[in-house]
Structure 1
Amino acid sequence: MTITQIIYWLELTGVAVFAVTGALEASRRQMDIVGFVLIATFTGIGGGTVRDVITGATPVFWIRDPAWVITCIGSAVFTYFTAHLVERRYVALIWLDALGLAMFGVTGAAIGLNLGVSPLVAIILGTITATFGGMVRDVVCNEIPLILRPEIYITCALLGASIYVIGTDILSLPRAPVALIAFLCSFALRASAIWFKLSFPVYRARPGREY
């Protein structure tokens, strides 16, 4: 199996995972099955769509290959009939989101490198791919996006994308092992942030000066 095929299947898995998070959010909002499909699709292919629009890829990936949309629909329908079996759906959503975040950070960066962009741009594309789908899900469902909450979030995608780009493009190491390491590091950081509520120091407003 070539690295392109590996990236394809990882991306498809990431789409399924993110689509399930969207469907879980739809279940929390008590939507009908059409709502499930809509939110799951927004979440599953949102980040990749933004990436392709930015890079000028035509047509966008899910127009070229209907497997992406079919995966979102299948994930939504599956979740519609099984969400009631999950007692803590928001907890499941958070952890599945962490899994998708780690996957897309790496695969988005890999796709960027395959397009011939610079290492920095590839890292940015990986981060966009990993975060924009979840952001669309949260905004549409009137939730504060995870990307704007105090816990470490976007940094996890940056970490995974950076490790992959540095390892493969700059150090010329084998892609598959580097991708696995990048994914594990990204997921471990996000899991730690969830478990231990890790966050960076926030800006504290100071009293204005008296003149």
Structure 2
Amino acid sequence: MFYLIIDILGTIAFAISGVMVAMDKKLDLFGVFIIAFVTSVGGGTLRDLLIGNTPVAWLKDPTFLITILSAVVIAIVFRNKLKYLRKSLFLFDTIGIGLYTMVGIQKGLLIGLSPIMCIGLGTITASFGGVIRDILCNEIPVIFRKEIYATACILGGVGYFLLRKLPITDAYPYVGGIIIVIGIRLLAVWFKIALPSIYKN
């Protein structure tokens, strides 16, 4: 139940992020829903295909579709208020990658993957919904720019596996990993920390 709640919270965060991007691009209602949908389930769909977990999660459980629809409606109704809670979709996107990184890692552990493969799976789960969203909206995906994005997912995954070595309840490393991802992303933006560019200005 704990992991399902985290999965749903990640779905909501990414759906709202997708709605905001779609509305910035002035898409119609169908376009808004599609962008919210692919942002929410794109990474998870790729993850499930990679590990052979088919049909993919959202086809087997209508909870995710209902959650996305609800989040879209709420985000549209309260769009003016939501604008005050974020800067360039940063807040909801950051929450989403933190939650989904741990969801992906958990999926990897369930099928017996090594820690490094689990971290890769978590990064894919967290990042590729946003990649698809940005491509559809004619933007260069954040993960391919110099912002600290996928790096935060990787470091959060490493932190999770280090915390698992401590004699604590299983939920604490999970929550700790989420906090690490979100914290690194927040600090990177706050202090303008970025990966080095290979191009000269």
**TM above 0.5, one fold?**
yes
1: CA distance between counterparts of 2:37 and 2:43? 11
Partner of 2:171: 176
Percent of aligned pairs with the same amino acid: 34
Partner of 2:60: 64
Residue 74 of structure 1 deviates from its aligned partner by 1.4
Q: Tell me if the contact between 1:42 and 1:136 (Cα under 8 Å) persists in the aligned partners.
A: yes
Give the SS at the match of 1:150. coil
Structure 1 residue runs without a partner (length 5+): 206-211
1: CA distance between counterparts of 2:173 and 2:26? 41
Structure 2 residue runs without a partner (length 5+): none
Q: Tell me if the contact between 1:106 and 1:183 (Cα under 8 Å) persists in the aligned partners.
A: yes
Aligned residue identity for 1:130: A
2: CA distance between counterparts of 1:32 and 1:20? 16
Aligned residue identity for 2:143: I
2: CA distance between counterparts of 1:38 and 1:139? 13
Give the SS at the match of 2:78. helix
Residue 68 of structure 1 deviates from its aligned partner by 0.7
Give the SS at the match of 1:91. coil
Please provide the CA RMSD for this pair. Answer: 1.8
Q: Tell me if the contact between 1:109 and 1:164 (Cα under 8 Å) persists in the aligned partners.
A: no
Partner of 2:107: 111
TM-score relative to the length of structure 1: 0.88
- The structure that has the greater radius of gyration is 1
User: Do the aligned partners of residues 71 and 171 (structure 1) sit closer, same or farther apart at CA in structure 2, a change above 3 Å counting?
Assistant: same
Q: Tell me if the contact between 1:15 and 1:72 (Cα under 8 Å) persists in the aligned partners.
A: yes
Residue 166 of structure 1 deviates from its aligned partner by 3.7
Asked whether 1:196 is paired with 2:191, we answer: yes
Q: For 1:54-133, list aligned pairs within 5 A.
A: 54-87=50-83, 91=87, 93-133=89-129
Asked whether 1:44 is paired with 2:40, we answer: yes
TM-score relative to the length of structure 2: 0.92
User: Do the aligned partners of residues 103 and 174 (structure 1) sit closer, same or farther apart at CA in structure 2, a change above 3 Å counting?
Assistant: same
Per-residue CA deviation, residues 123-166 of structure 1 (Å, 9 max, x unaligned), is 11001001001111111111121112222111101111222234
